[in-house]
Structure 1
Amino acid sequence: MSLARRLLLAAPLGFLAGWAAGALESALVTATSDLVFADPLLDSVEVAWRYAVVGAVLALLLSLAPRRLRPKRPAAVLGAVLGLIIFVSGTSWIHQHFYGGRPTVAAGPLIANGILAAAALALGFGLGAVRTSYAAALLLAAAGHSGVVVTAAQPSSSKAAAATAPAGTPNVLMIVIDTLRADHLGCYGYGQDTSPRLDALAAGGLRFAAAYAQATWTRPSVASLMTSLHPASHLTNDLHARVAPELQTLAETAHDRGLATVGFSANRNVSAVFGFDQGFDSFWTHASEDLNSILRFTTWERVLEIGRGFGLFRNQQPPSVAADVTDRVLAWADGHDGRPWFAYVQYIDPHGPYDPPADFLAEIGVEPLDREAVAKMDIHHGNKPWPFFQVEDADPALVARLVELYDAEIRYCDREVGRLLDGLRERGMLDNTYVVVTADHGEEFYEHKQFGHGQSAFEELSHVPLIITGPGVRSGVVDQRVELIDLYPTVATWIGAAVPERIQGRDLGDLIAGGRRPEPSEALITNIKGYELCAWVFGHEKLVRIELDGKVVWQLYDLAADPGEQHDLAADQPQRVEELKAELLRRRLDSARFRLERAARVEAGAIDSDLRNELQSLGYASDAEE
């Protein structure tokens, strides 16, 4: 058979094999996930199309292989491609779902992958030997799409407000600025002019000098803010997890009180697909879900990235900028019906890749980053936690440039937050309104030999800004330690709602009124994602426990003498570490006391290639997810 004929026969066979594999994986995702998708059937068709292109490319490559290596019959090409795709996809599923996405050579995944390889080869050779292999592949594809329709979770019907909010109920505007370090704001002592509008807000309100996030990456941190639960209780701890429908959220409490509830998020980690729309009358995410399906069928993300390089799979997600978020909120304000309201607004601009709008950079005289130089550095999130991993010999000049662009992103976002507040004030919507500004986590810039976030609990990641203004809120500074889980009961009290029993935060009302809490004030930070990191901050000390692959590391820092956490005292003070271990264990157990009674099952979900590509562009969803 001539080469041209082999290629003409192979391409459609590979296309069909890839389509069947994509449809089957789509069904697997919807069958094992509680995530809700806008149009699961259409999404599965898009996924199947992408896999079909991959299948066609693989079939062409097989046809170009030496005679002794390539399939002897056309049908065998279809079987070989299908088996290969299923093997690679299945390997990724095992890697991501059972081993946290971290590189590992443990016996478990090796054995599982071996079994999968044998099954995939058997399927491929079996299908390739069948005369009706074409029809069999079509039936597999049809079964996959049918499975999507049958097993896809249905959206819950929107719940009508149980009551009308009483006259005089205050409004609440909660602004979360993604990846914003407290120590890079002027009001927290930073020497650069990054935050004039936030500084002015803090000067007229109450600034919390020692606020802490409960996790150091977005999904679990915002879940803690919304549920007033520690990550060990809400279980929204990895890229496969969503906020469980059984959990009561702050938005649901506001909704039940009769407030209009609206959400605006520039980070797709905080979106309806991951359950963050619970309790909101409407929840806008920067990317249109009509254009970007919300399933994760991207175990071939590396291949798809190559395809994108040729323009086959262009990411339709436009760059997320603060101006778009502000415009959306103000557009909502123009049509608001006058009821008391709760609005959640999340900006993302300080998050990598530190790429403010070109006109803004020109305005402030800052040059864009050299992307080729940055690509040589390991800046993505998902590295093993410190001290199990570190980036070697980062260029100080390049680190300084990263910080310069990060600061520019803060300045740009600060301007847009100011425009949002001005716009609401002009519309009369800041009267009788509490404004809360905080962050989900900070960012590392090689202070501890890593970049990004999610892999440690050092102060540059866990210490976040918190500024509150509103009716009866005094101006000043609270120096006692508080946590983001404290915001839920605080807001509930403001709007006159009952505070749920199953929460772990404490109302900030006593501190806002000028009182004090018993010392030492403390905070707990937890990352659970393929490893467990738990940091307990109390008084002037921080005790950290990190467990990875059965190995436990303890760290101890004196934040008064060493605020930059450069000197681990665990080796020098083993007796002090032993004294504190039991206390940390007690707090770890207490933080998990509201774990759902579902055999500790995280609601594993999936996201599609567009969403994975977007998350990967932000540093998530790599081979070692953060």
Structure 2
Amino acid sequence: MKPTTFYRKDDGMKLSPHRHSLRTTSMVAMSGLLLLLSAGGVGAARQSMSRDLLPILATISIPEPKPAAVKSHFDCTPELGKNCRIIAKRSNRRQSFIMAPGDESRISIEANSGDEIRFALDRPLSRSNRLQLEVRVEHPEGTFAQTFKTPPPTKPWTEITVPIRHSGKQVLTFRVKQQPGSLDVDALAIAAPRLILHSKTAEPQPPNILLYLMDTLRADHTSALGYHRDTTPNLAALAKTGWNFTRATSTAPRTRASTASILTSLYPTQNQAVLNRGLDLEVETLAEILRRGGWATYAYVANGNVFEPAFRFDQGFDQFVTIRGKKLDNHAHTIEIHEKIFPNLDRLKGERFFLYVHAVDPHSPYDPPEESRHRYTDADYQGSIDPKKTVARNLKKTSLSPEDFNFVVGLYDEDIRYQDASFGRLLKAMRDRDLLQNTLIVVVSDHGDEFLEHGGWEHGMRLYEHQLHVPFIVHGPGIDTHTIDKPTSLVDVMPTILAQAGLAAPKKGEGRNAAPRASEKPATPGSPIFAEEIKPDFRMQSLRQGPWKIIRHINRAPDGWREENASYTLYRLDKDPGEQTDLASVETGKLDEMRQQLSALQTRLAGGTAPADIPTPPLAIDERTRRQLEALGYVVGEGSGK
């Protein structure tokens, strides 16, 4: 078969040709991609960075016919090659390339003595334990080889480190060895292969990044923004020495859509992570950009609207860990996230990392652990509220006394205090391991919650500030102390992070670098802030500019979305922060002005129609995730999009 020449999508680099065959031996030159890092001068700090080997290795053709079980796994994004699969083992999903018995893959690298090759090993098929992986590093001064057995089916991924013993150009070889009794359908998965480059340099290094999302945390219940209860002392401490964005707004009152905005800088209409949909493979994510830039990428996620594989939020993550909770029909408290993260923190040493943590607390049910109980609630409370049942479908059926209502709000605040303390423990664990010295910390929420301000509970179906106003705090190297009162949006999170990392934001992104005195696309106090709620037959959009906010409601007619079915409300937030007085019939001039702005924006976002239909394929999530989402108060079924 004629050799095929491959090209990298991101930088156009020409790679050496290799042959497709059932048992492939391939050589891919990487000297133009992996740079030899020389030692710095006296007193230079030890720094590490990593180079991603997966886009090269996964370009090598997978043997045909592919094992059926390997076919069933999700594909990676196209730029990672047709041999890349997202392989899950014990709720731990990793981007991997697949090798069959007898396969051999070779790449040329440049490295120094003391550098390392790191990867994880598993087999997608559990029928045999008779495969071995040989890793060989060849250098003119000598060859070093190690052989690794495949882990048993009941064990998690096997983490492997291969030392580099010589400096200069060398050849790295992966070869699958077949022992007697192996099955033809056997295969190995090699996950997140990276070359860890250690060097000494006096040059400033891009930061590690910790993105910590506290689910369902409304900004006005944080002491960092002046709440009367000391619910978030750790957040307040960060805010005092970092950037505290006091007017940050979510793009949607639902987890999936708003989290997608954080990770893509796109509004829900664009990222389409709504209804029964997840992220499209063509959408460029924060993790993908950082991964290409040399960051090892990790996610620990406890909300099924993000960790469900069908929603594809794992795009760009070397490792994506699902935390369901010890009781599969309930949400995981943050201590269960820590049980997954803490044992793996040491592995972050020597890598430039992006760590995304999505913690569910204080999401309903408002059931804080014992360590946080009775800080804001009466220990002698004898009312009808059961903390384990504080979800909207139960609360709206209950006639609450003032004591009951205060008890529910107190439980929510105790959940916030618990989450803040848990966040503090993670920071301490990272500080004890010297992982915070050069780490950018970004804390944000996806949306807030309602406590009868407009007659309802929890979130969704409304675009009022108690659901949209969220905390957004940035702390770390190069971050001075600023309280930023200008309006910001969750679409600004991604470009703000990328600017601090020294990387360009996607041209298609809607957000802007929100840093104080940012030089590129600076936000102004008058910048409009947009949010939307999308259901199959119902839409809401809001636009906030200055003190004014307009909300549009529209129902779908049999023949489509018609403007005559729309209604509008108008509020002036500086005088009416609770949005209790509709001024649409009084401020008709301002209403018309903002209607036109909102219509133009919605038309642009929808690609020329206002609004556009979004296809809603059948919801295909696994039963365990369904049970967890239902326990969190979500209605899982047709048209659900939390």
TM-score by length of 1: 0.65
The structural deviation recorded for 1:391 is 8.2
Please show how residues 56-205 of structure 1 align to structure 2 within 5 Å: 168-205=205-242
Please show how residues 111-510 of structure 1 align to structure 2 within 5 Å: 168-238=205-275, 240-271=276-307, 273=309, 274-287=311-324, 316-317=328-329, 319-361=331-373, 366-367=378-379, 373=385, 379-380=391-392, 395-510=401-516
526, 547, 559: which is aligned to 2:554?
A: 547
Change (3 A) 1:376 1:205: closer
**Percent of pairs with identical residues:** 32
608, 624, 630: which is aligned to 1:616?
A: 630
1:537 aligned residue: 544
The structural deviation recorded for 1:243 is 1.0
Distance in 1, Cα, partners of 2:556 & 2:389: 25
The structural deviation recorded for 1:409 is 0.1
2:600 aligned residue: 586
Distance in 2, Cα, partners of 1:519 & 1:571: 26
Distance in 2, Cα, partners of 1:532 & 1:377: 29
Instruction: Give the conservation status (yes or no) of the 8 Å contact 1:175–1:344.
Output: yes
Distance in 2, Cα, partners of 1:622 & 1:157: 35
Change (3 A) 1:249 1:516: closer
SS in 2 for 1:338: coil
Higher RCO (CA 8 Å, separation ≥ 6 residues): 1
Change (3 A) 1:161 1:604: farther
544, 556, 560: which is aligned to 2:570?
A: 556
Instruction: Give the conservation status (yes or no) of the 8 Å contact 2:541–2:551.
Output: yes
Q: Give per-residue Cα distances to partners, 1:534-582, cap 9 Å, x unaligned.
A: 0001100100001134442211000011011111111333343223211
Q: Give per-residue Cα distances to partners, 1:298-354, cap 9 Å, x unaligned.
A: xxxxxxxxxxxxxxxxx6345411112233222221222411111101111110000
Change (3 A) 1:592 1:569: same
The structural deviation recorded for 1:606 is 1.1
1:25 aligned residue: none
Residue identity in the other structure for 1:577? L
Distance in 2, Cα, partners of 1:441 & 1:496: 28
Change (3 A) 1:573 1:381: farther
Distance in 2, Cα, partners of 1:448 & 1:564: 9
Gaps of 5+ in 1: 1-29, 41-155, 292-314, 384-389
The structural deviation recorded for 1:368 is 9.6
SS in 2 for 1:571: coil
Instruction: Give the conservation status (yes or no) of the 8 Å contact 1:216–1:457.
Output: yes
SS in 2 for 1:277: coil
The structural deviation recorded for 1:515 is 11
Distance in 2, Cα, partners of 1:210 & 1:445: 20
Instruction: Give the conservation status (yes or no) of the 8 Å contact 2:217–2:447.
Output: yes
Distance in 2, Cα, partners of 1:196 & 1:546: 38
Change (3 A) 1:604 1:431: farther
Distance in 2, Cα, partners of 1:407 & 1:375: 12
Instruction: Give the conservation status (yes or no) of the 8 Å contact 2:362–2:415.
Output: yes
Q: Which has the higher strand share?
A: 2
Distance in 1, Cα, partners of 2:521 & 2:266: 24
Instruction: Give the conservation status (yes or no) of the 8 Å contact 1:534–1:546.
Output: yes
Change (3 A) 1:370 1:502: farther
Instruction: Give the conservation status (yes or no) of the 8 Å contact 1:164–1:257.
Output: no
Q: Give per-residue Cα distances to partners, 1:83-118, cap 9 Å, x unaligned.
A: xxxxxxxxxxxxxxxxxxxxxxxxxxxxxxxxxxxx
Instruction: Give the conservation status (yes or no) of the 8 Å contact 1:233–1:594.
Output: no
1:120 aligned residue: none
Distance in 2, Cα, partners of 1:201 & 1:546: 38
Residue identity in the other structure for 2:289? T
The structural deviation recorded for 1:400 is 1.5
Distance in 1, Cα, partners of 2:378 & 2:403: 15
SS in 2 for 1:461: helix
Instruction: Give the conservation status (yes or no) of the 8 Å contact 2:248–2:471.
Output: yes
Instruction: Give the conservation status (yes or no) of the 8 Å contact 1:215–1:527.
Output: yes
534, 556, 559: which is aligned to 1:528?
A: 534
Instruction: Give the conservation status (yes or no) of the 8 Å contact 1:355–1:368.
Output: no
The structural deviation recorded for 1:527 is 1.1
Q: Give per-residue Cα distances to partners, 1:273-320, cap 9 Å, x unaligned.
A: 1211110110111128xx9xxxxxxxxxxxxxxxxxxxxxxx634541
Instruction: Give the conservation status (yes or no) of the 8 Å contact 1:391–1:449.
Output: no
SS in 2 for 1:221: helix
Change (3 A) 1:566 1:319: same
Distance in 1, Cα, partners of 2:388 & 2:328: 26
Distance in 2, Cα, partners of 1:416 & 1:568: 40
The structural deviation recorded for 1:607 is 1.4
Instruction: Give the conservation status (yes or no) of the 8 Å contact 2:372–2:415.
Output: no
SS in 2 for 1:436: strand
In the alignment of these two chains, the number of paired residues is 450
Instruction: Give the conservation status (yes or no) of the 8 Å contact 2:487–2:525.
Output: no
Change (3 A) 1:367 1:220: farther
Residue identity in the other structure for 2:224? C
Instruction: Give the conservation status (yes or no) of the 8 Å contact 2:308–2:621.
Output: no
Deviates more, 1:164-173 or 1:192-201: 164-173
Change (3 A) 1:372 1:622: farther
Change (3 A) 1:183 1:39: closer
Residue identity in the other structure for 1:198? L
SS in 1 for 2:423: helix
Distance in 2, Cα, partners of 1:507 & 1:368: 49
